[in-house]
Amino acid sequence: MTQYNVIDLFCGAGGFSKGFYDLGFNIVLGLDNFEPVARTFKFNFPNSIVICEDIRNMYSDEILTYLRGKIPHVIIGSPPCEPFTAANPNRKERPLDRLYVDPQGQLTLEFIRIVKQLKPEIFIMENVPQIMENGLKKALIREFKDAGYNRVFFNILRAEDYGTPSHRIRVFISNIPIKPKKKHKRITVEEALKDLPPPGTSGVMNHELPPLSKKKLRRIRKLKWGQALIR
């Protein structure tokens, strides 16, 4: 059985890669321009090549040199969502400007450029659903078609359907349909965290209570059941 090689663009600490690794894929390379997360990715995938560089400075021949003959079967990536998400009050008013004018939005086009150059069997790009708004979906289909992929699927997945205690909708844009089997039961934050020891007493990494400002504490005290500080 062929073991598929995966390249992770905008790899971060490797969360996207972890899912592929758990399913038996070979994570051969991660790319990110932020040195702390690149180091974390290397810690999580010690056998993988990690490139700490701006994707705009990378080209297929250089990536292939790093791979030393390994074929990149799959390219995955999560370009920045800030230009597209409705949670950003400063996003461009015209949807197409979020992709073609916003410098961060243009990083999505850089992902497509690398896909076009390397021609993987499969690509998967994750982002917020707003990346499909008002002409953006057609623009992305056009860009991927220009890259050589005539079939583009916009796979909408909900994190809570797959074992995550979070209401989070994401789109996975790919040249294949993605329909993972849903969990039978959604879990709550309480169920996910109830077996953790008290914060700050156990030596569990990053299990600490951050200090809260007096203003935030006042807001918390006013919350009613089912409310939250941020929606």
Tell me the catalytic residues: 81
Question: Nearest-CA neighbor of 29 among 44, 55, 4, 11?
Answer: 11
The separation between CA 102 and the C-alpha centre of its own chain, rounded to angstroms, equals 19
Cβ–Cβ < 8 Å for 72, 5? yes
Where is 143: in which H helix or E strand? helix 136-146
Helices (H) and strands (E) in the chain, counts: 8, 7
CB contact burial 182-205 (16+ within 10 A = b; e otherwise): eeeebeeeeeeeeeeeeeeeeeee
DSSP 95-136: HHHHHHTSTTTHHHHHHHHHHHHH--SEEEEEE-GGGGTTTH
Name the burial class of residue 113, with classes exposed (0-12), middle (13-18) and buried (19+) by CB atoms within 10 angstroms of its CB: middle
Q: Which two tokens stand for residue 214?
A: 């007096």
Q: Which two tokens stand for residue 139?
A: 């623009």
